[in-house]
Amino acid sequence: MTGAKNENELIPIMRFRMPLAFLIAFGWLGGPRAQGQDTGPPPASEVLTVEDMRADLAVFRDDFLARDQSYSPDAREEAEVRLAALEEGLEHVGRAEFELHLAQIVSLADNGHTISFAGDRSSRFNRVSIRVFPFGEDFYVLRATEPNAELLGARVVAVGGTGISEIRGASRALVGGTPAWRDRVGSYLIESPEQLHALGLAPDPAGAVYAFETSDGARIERFLAGDPAGERPGRTSRWIYPELLEEEVGEWRALMDPDLAPWALQDAGESFRSREVPELDAMVIELRRNNNAPGKPIRVALREFRQVIEEAGRSNVILDMRQNGGGDLNTTRDFMESLPDLVPGRIFVLISPWTFSAAISSIGYLKQTAPDRVVIIGEGPGDRLEFFSEGSTMTLPNSGVMLLAATERHDYQTGCEGFSDCHGSVVRHPIAVDSLAPDIAAPWTFEVYAAGRDPGMEAVARAIDGD
């Protein structure tokens, strides 16, 4: 991608070339084990031979790094240096360290779609029995097993003696994109003593002392043992919904009573929803994905949305895209461009850092069609207006690391003018908007969430009342 990324100053990744011996000696390679600390026998999940890792690095070079187009020349050069350093020091590296070092190399692209998948990685390492979620730059416990229920609603202050700000910085160094987008996967690291240990952030891979601050200012410290590696976890965005997963019922508790949740956080398993809001003279439609849902093609959902909007005859539409992580930008383009014709008033678009990829494209088409009638409300989306995407996932044969190399440019500021590497769909149907930043800020803070309120809908109501 082009242009400066000011948030990179927040990410603790070395931005200059270092001799390989220096990288090994000063601990970039190997974490605690390379630094000579007695850590005991490695967990079973760390078993990965030097030959396995070396073979994976060869595949990584040829099938990922050589294909991805999002690295700047300087970032690509640094990635090559780090890759060589990692290969030279493999005898000092355990499985967790190997995977996390690769993620750091991937993150140098500073592109949200250039990914070493954190959720997939989480399935190979231990995890404590709480689930944390980011609000702003803090992480709060939204789920916990029954023995840890008193931690619900508490803010994570430190893990293993390491402050949360340092852990957040280390987490941001494992994924590219905006800071808020990086934080969406920070939960996976915070919840895994094994991964924290591999980065030198916690002393014991088996468990850690977690420090919390409650809403009344009390401090709780508790040793939490990591549960063995298991199934691949769902998206961390799922934890904001209070409805328990089937496998959680009877063992876990959520902070919020599902019956008291605002409408936007109900029916977690539904991808396409709508309701009429007479007091705002509006119809709310919610898209939580930009592709087909199980048992519900998106084309059918959009046809139904069009029908309910026309039948309701309301002046305004509220389009909730806060939990839409993307899919296929082609599925919603026609609908978005026709939406302003369906109502005489305004279209309020609710967005968040979880609004990503094709969801951003969809909002771009809408904003471009009716810039004077579209009001964006919430927090900034999960990506910039210029990024690289497309490509396909690949898995390294021995470690199982899952990667996505981004191969085509998306530019929503100039409509891809002057570029020859843009995705075909956005060349044929360009997007050129000045900004998709919120016109009205309405962040979902922890305090608002815990009170069961919906800040986006409250902001819409204020905007309409102000008229």
pLDDT at 42 over 70: no
Report pLDDT for 233: 64
Report pLDDT for 232: 63
Report pLDDT for 19: 36
Domain-located, residue 418:
no
**Which CA distances in Å does 288 have to 89, 143, 246, 319, 348?**
43, 21, 20, 11, 16
CATH of the domain at 449: 3.90.226.10
Residue 238, classified by CB atoms within 10 Å of its CB into exposed (0-12), middle (13-18) or buried (19+), is: middle
Domain-located, residue 410:
no
Per-residue pLDDT band at 442 (split at 50, 70, 90): very high
CA distance 162 to 308: 52
For residues 84 and 36, which has the higher predicted lDDT (pLDDT)? 84
Q: Does one domain contain both 83 and 178?
A: no
Range of the domain at 50: 6-112
Last-in-domain residue among 205, 222, 255: 255
Contacts of 251 (CB under 8 A, 6+ apart): 145, 146
Q: Does one domain contain both 74 and 174?
A: no
Q: Does one domain contain both 93 and 177?
A: no
Q: What is the pLDDT of residues 411-425, one digit of tens each?
A: 999 999 999 999 999
Q: Does one domain contain both 341 and 452?
A: yes
Query: Residue 247: how many CA atoms within 13 Å on its side-chain side?
Result: 4
CA distance 454 to 448: 7
Domain-located, residue 412:
no
pLDDT at 350 over 60: yes
Domain-located, residue 361:
yes
Last-in-domain residue among 82, 112, 142: 112
Domains of the chain: total? 3
What is the residue-averaged pLDDT of the chain? 90
HEC profile for 338-359? HHHHCCCCCEEEEECCCCCCHH
Q: Does one domain contain both 328 and 462?
A: yes
What is the average per-residue pLDDT within 209-221?
A: 96
Last-in-domain residue among 255, 278, 310: 255
Domain-located, residue 417:
no
pLDDT at 43 over 90: no
CATH of the domain at 142: 2.30.42.10
Report pLDDT for 236: 87
Question: What is the percent of the chain with per-residue pLDDT over 90, rounded to a whole number?
Answer: 87
Domain-located, residue 330:
yes
What is the average per-residue pLDDT within 276-302?
A: 97
Alpha helices in 230-271 (DSSP H): none
What is the average per-residue pLDDT within 54-75?
A: 97
* Parallel, antiparallel or unpaired: strands 402-404 and 393-395: antiparallel
Q: What is the pLDDT of residues 144-168, one digit of tens each?
A: 999 999 999 999 999 999 999 999 9
pTM of the model: 0.90
* β-strand partners of 286: 273, 320
Q: Does one domain contain both 298 and 442?
A: yes
Q: Does one domain contain both 147 and 286?
A: no
For residues 80 and 43, which has the higher predicted lDDT (pLDDT)? 80
